[in-house]
Amino acid sequence: MQVREVPVSCNKDCGGGCPLWAKIIDGKLVSIRDNPHRAPYMHGCVRGYQAGRLLYAPDRLTQPLLRVGPRGSRAFTPIGWDEALDRIASSLGEVYHHYGPTAVMNMGGYGSGQGALHSTSSTCSRFLSLLGGYTYLSGSYSRGASNFAIPYVLGVGAPEGMDPGALVNSNFIILWGADFYVNRFGCEWEGRLRQARQRGVPILGIDPRRSTTIAKLGAEWLPILPGTDAALMQALLYVLMTEHLADEAFIAKYTTGYEALRASIHGQNGATPRTPEWAAPLTGVPADKITALARRYAQLKPTALLPGLSIQRTMGGEETLRLSIALQAVTGNIGLPGGSSGAHIWGKLPGPHLGRLPVPPPRQSASVPVLHWPDAVLGGRAAGFPCDIHAIYNVGSNFVVQGSDMHKSMRAFEKVELAVCHDWFLTPTARYCDIVLPATMPLEREDVVVTSTNMLLYSQQAVEPLQDTRDDYAIFCGLAERMGIGRAYTQDRTPAEWLACSLATSDVPDIAEFKRTGIYLGSDHNRSGLDDFRHDPIVYPLRTPSGKIELASEQYARTGYCAAPTARLLAPNPAYPLSLITPVSPYRTHSQGSNIAWIRKHEAGGLWINPQDAAQRGFQPGQLVEVFNPQGMMRIPCRITADIMPGVVCLLHGVWPEFDTQGIETAGSANILTTTEGTLPSHASRTHSIQVQVRHPEN
Ligand SMILES: Nc1nc2c(c(=O)[nH]1)N[C@H]1C(S)=C(S)[C@@H](COP(=O)(O)OP(=O)(O)OC[C@H]3O[C@@H](n4cnc5c(=O)[nH]c(N)nc54)[C@H](O)[C@@H]3O)O[C@H]1N2
Ligand SMILES: Nc1nc2c(c(=O)[nH]1)N[C@H]1C(S)=C(S)[C@@H](COP(=O)(O)OP(=O)(O)OC[C@H]3O[C@@H](n4cnc5c(=O)[nH]c(N)nc54)[C@H](O)[C@@H]3O)O[C@H]1N2
Ligand SMILES: [Mo]
């Protein structure tokens, strides 16, 4: 019996990866636990520990597949690697030849995106770029609205994040639509929050659900109607301003636009003042609770306001993050140890340097906002998009399931002449492709993983690749060679040589030690972003026109929206009176693992609905209900629970869809109900502002 233990990391896009440790007996993975060399407060989650369930899943793809039935069906036949690569090279070559590079949509880049070499994003972009170019998907499903808006407030590239370790200095923590125990955002937030709780720091969760984090921390829960956070933020500002609780010294020294913000909060040009009484019916938060929260917020410094990304994946999401920064500015918390910027918390503070597989700039390119990829495929130039799409190359996404408006996504895939996919499973998206190539998983390859924390991880190859699976990199090498760009793609380097190059140009001082322990920690883990700006705003100005925090922005006003941030809420629709939120599952990264029986058994599936809304409709626990809106209809069991507030229902997104003979979705796949009409001006997705109705199936 041969026993081996090696450092690994799951390389998921929830913060980059966790330091894990795999045990292998006779070539077979037997367990994954936390890396014994990790720093305190770091640990993995169920998705990493249970990665073996995906690795050894019975439906794992092991051979290239050729579609032999209609798009979307499961009719595929296995073919050899040579035939698969020959076919792709020839068909893709024709698309480039006839229509030019922008006819090819470069889809994906999620999944395993953080590897120095095995990144779904760079392996594919490098290949398509060397072929001449592609149409790329701009913006982001994750944080499209806030990525757009934050630079107007803090300037481009501001170090807006904070290290989880900085919470040791916080006296109040607000989890604003942020479920750290589940979403993770790296391996340290959960442990640091628990540490703060043990210190007796008050923690408040503002969320339509009693999230896992709120429940497990025993934190206070302030329920709020989805997509109305901006209104609550404005009302908090109103109380801070009218009760003279604002930090005037901070505002004067570090911000511009306060007068415009104040005018907007007080209701200029006949608008209603943003009082707690104004916000209460909109947000579902009682006015006295809003006032009390504002007073407490002003007293307890430093406050870490930690926003999730959920609060900007809504209609008017651009304003929400502008307002959360305004709150942290008006209370003088920005740049304080243990304060936060109110903007994104992760991924913006410098981490150790590492060379990665380079992506040369494409000679020709076009871009489409990611939310609109199916609109661009269906409408093309005639609909005002910069390209007509004839082929989709998909590595590292399952956009039929994950894109908004699933019916539209399916129609888009039906339209293209060529669709190619590399994946681990025959996902619903893969079923719409002509050729599907079986890719390796992170446990089957060696890589360095870049994380959102101040560290790098070494992920050893734990097991041999399953049967005929290949690394994405190797697949592209095979294609590149057939298409005459072989040496340009590989630069005559083996994968091991690419990794050696990455490490040689990295900050890691002792590479052998790094490979052994799997972790290289940067020096400081307690950083609060913008501390240098706070220290001296003249020496360390922001990259805004004024060099300061722009509480109102004239530049932003040029997009057609107000200079001062202001709630832009969805009008209620009596036909669809319930708000649907679609957060992530603790057991899955998006749709990954939806096909695994063990995961389906453990997660809280079905439609979450409050006992009050269920009683109004006469629902019994677990009964089948219909959820519908103009986008689509599903029939699924309901899960009656007081963990969700009245007026709101919830589906954990990423479930692979199933359809009955009438075309009704029966597995609970959230994007049946979402839309590609996004929030403006960012054109970002709004998967947490969905209006639906729920009823008995027989109606
Ligand atoms: N387990 C797991 N973790 C992940 C991922 C995953 O798929 N699985 N995906 C990763 C990726 S790519 C991303 S972009 C992030 C996403 O990160 P987020 O967008 O922050 O995550 P969500 O799970 O959508 O929502 C987080 C919390 O916000 C609450 N919420 C929803 N809508 C609202 C609202 O309108 N207002 C308020 N106040 N709260 C609201 C939800 O109930 C939930 O508790 O997660 C990352 N982490
Ligand atoms: N309703 C709703 N929809 C959402 C969201 C929401 O909150 N609500 N969130 C949105 C967000 S924030 C995001 S980021 C997107 C995510 O959307 P996707 O990226 O499409 O989500 P995943 O399900 O993670 O799909 C990744 C796919 O890549 C495959 N994969 C993983 N690693 C590798 C690899 O190394 N090689 C290859 N070849 N394949 C690999 C996986 O098997 C999986 O099929 O979803 C968005 N969709
Ligand atoms: Mo995301």
CA of 89 to the centre of ligand 3 (A): 31
Q: Of all residues in the chain, what percent carry a pLDDT higher than 70?
A: 100
Domain range summary for the chain, segments of one domain joined by +? 65-138+363-442+465-506, 145-348+527-557, 578-695
**Residues by chain with Cβ below 5 Å of ion ligand 3:** 142
Ligand 2 binding pocket includes 397 (Cβ within 6 Å): yes
Distance CA 531, CA 206 (A): 26
Atom of ligand 2 nearest to the CA of 591: 23
pLDDT score, position 698: 73
* Residues contacting ligand 1 via CB (< 6 Å): 13-14, 142, 176-179, 182-184, 206-209, 211, 224, 226-227, 229, 308-311, 313-314, 581, 583-584, 586, 588-590, 688
Q: Is residue 326 packed enough to be buried (19+ CB in 10 Å), middle (13-18) or exposed (0-12)? A: buried
> What is the 46 CA–ligand 1 centroid distance (Å)?
17
Q: How far apart are CA 603 and CA 605, in angstroms?
A: 6
Label residue 699 by pLDDT band (50, 70, 90): low
Q: What's the whole-number average pLDDT of the chain?
A: 96
Length of the chain: 699
* Residue of 183, 188, 588, 652 to mutate, ligand 1, most atoms within 8 A of C-beta: 183
112 band by pLDDT with thresholds 50, 70 and 90:
confident
Which residues, including other chains, have CB under 8 Å from residue 85's CB and lie 6 or more apart? 475, 478, 479, 482
Ligand 3 midpoint to CA 249 (Å): 37
**What whole-number distance in Å separates Cα of residue 321 and Cα of residue 404?**
22
Q: Which atom of ligand 2 is nearest to the CA of 313?
A: 7
Ligand 2 atom with the shortest distance to the CA of 584: 7
How does pLDDT run across 5-36, given as a tens digit for each residue?
999 998 888 877 899 999 999 999 999 999 99
Q: Is the CB of 122 under 6 A from ligand 2?
A: no
Helix-helix angle 229-242:317-330, to 10 degrees: 30
Q: Residue 687 CA: which ligand is closest?
A: 2
Residues 397 and 108 sit within 8 Å (Cβ to Cβ):
yes
- Ligand 1: centre distance to CA 596 (Å): 22
State residue 449 phi and psi, 5-degree precision.
-110, 130
Determine the residue of 584, 643, 644 to mutate for testing ligand 1's pocket, defined as the one with the most ligand atoms within 8 A of the Cβ atom.
584
Residue 582 Cα to ligand 1 middle (Å): 8
Q: What is the pLDDT of residue 452?
A: 86
Q: How confident is the model at residue 399 (pLDDT cuts 50, 70, 90)?
A: very high
CA dist 89 and 135 (Å) reads 18
Q: How far is CA 529 from CA 188, 396, 510, 549, in A?
A: 17, 31, 28, 14
Distinct helix (H) and strand (E) counts, the chain: 25, 26
Ligand nearest to the CA of 15: 1
Which tens digit of pLDDT belongs to each residue from 583-637?
999 999 999 999 999 999 999 789 999 999 999 999 999 999 999 999 999 999 9
Sign of CA dihedral 153, 159, 164, 169: negative
Amino acid at 205: G
Q: Residue 286 carries which DSSP code? A: -
- Relative to the alpha carbon of 591, which ligand is closest? 2
pLDDT digit string, tens, across residues 623-642: 999 999 999 999 999 999 99
Confidence of residue 346 (pLDDT cuts 50, 70, 90): confident
Residue 348 is predicted with a pLDDT of 81
Assess contact for 588 and 653: CB atoms under 8 A.
no
C-alpha–C-alpha distance, residues 307 and 505, integer Å: 34
User: Does the Cβ of 461 fall within 6 Å of ligand 2?
Assistant: no
Is 654 touching ligand 2 by the criterion CB < 6 Å?
Answer: yes
> What is the pLDDT averaged over residues 558-578?
97
State the pairing for strand pair 203-206/172-176.
Answer: parallel
Strand order in the sheet with 418-423: 76-78, 65-67, 435-438, 418-423, 391-395, 104-108, 133-138, 364-369
Q: Give 3-state DSSP helix, strand, coil % of the chain, rounded to 5.
A: 35, 20, 45
Kindly report, residue by residue over 149-161, the tens digit of the pLDDT. 999 999 999 999 9
Instruction: Please work out whether the CB of residue 433 comes within 6 Å of at least one atom of ligand 2.
Output: no
Question: 647: pLDDT confidence band, cut at 50, 70 and 90?
Answer: very high
Residue 229 has pLDDT above 70, yes or no: yes
Looking at domain 145-348+527-557, does it have CATH number 3.40.228.10? Answer: yes
Confidence of residue 582 (pLDDT cuts 50, 70, 90): very high
Is residue 347 over pLDDT 80?
A: no
- Closest residue CA from atom 14 of ligand 2: 142
CA 146 to ligand 3 center in whole angstroms = 12
CATH number corresponding to 578-695: 2.40.40.20
Q: For domain 65-138+363-442+465-506, give the CATH number.
A: 3.40.50.740
CA-closest residue to ligand 1 atom 23: 583
Question: Is the C-beta atom of 312 inside 6 A of ligand 2?
Answer: no
Task: Name the closest-CA residue to atom 46, ligand 1.
Answer: 14
pLDDT of 143 reads: 94
What is the distance of C-alpha 412 from the center of its chain? Answer: 23
**CA 190 – CA 192 distance, rounded (Å):** 6
Backbone angles phi, psi at 79, to 5 degrees: -135, 165
Cα 8 to Cα 20: distance, rounded to the nearest angstrom: 5
Tell me, what's the pLDDT at 3? 98
The secondary element (H helix, E strand) that includes residue 402 is helix 399-402
Protein residue whose Cα sits closest to atom 31 of ligand 1: 310
3-state secondary structure of 21: strand
Atom 11 of ligand 1, nearest CA residue: 14
Place of tokens 């501390």: 531
Query: Other C-beta atoms within 10 Å of 273: how many?
Result: 15
Ligand 1: distance of its center to the CA of 581 in Å?
A: 9
Question: Which ranges in 525-672 belong to alpha helices (H)?
Answer: 531-535, 554-557, 597-602, 611-616
- DSSP annotation string for 118-164: --HHHHHHHHHHHTTEEEEEES-TTTHHHHHHHHHHHBTT----B-G
The CB of 474 under 6 Å from ligand 2? The reply is no
Average pLDDT (478-486) is 98
Residue 582 CA: nearest ligand 2 atom is 8
The two structure tokens encoding residue 684? 């970002």
CB 153, CB 325: distance < 8 Å: yes
Grade residue 444 by pLDDT with cuts at 50, 70 and 90: very high
SS3 sequence of 491-528: CCCCHHHHHHHHHHCCCCCCHHHHHHHCEEECCCCCCE
Rounded CA gap, 182 and 309, in Å? 13
Strands 28-34, 20-25: pairing kind? antiparallel
Who wins on pLDDT, 255 or 113?
255
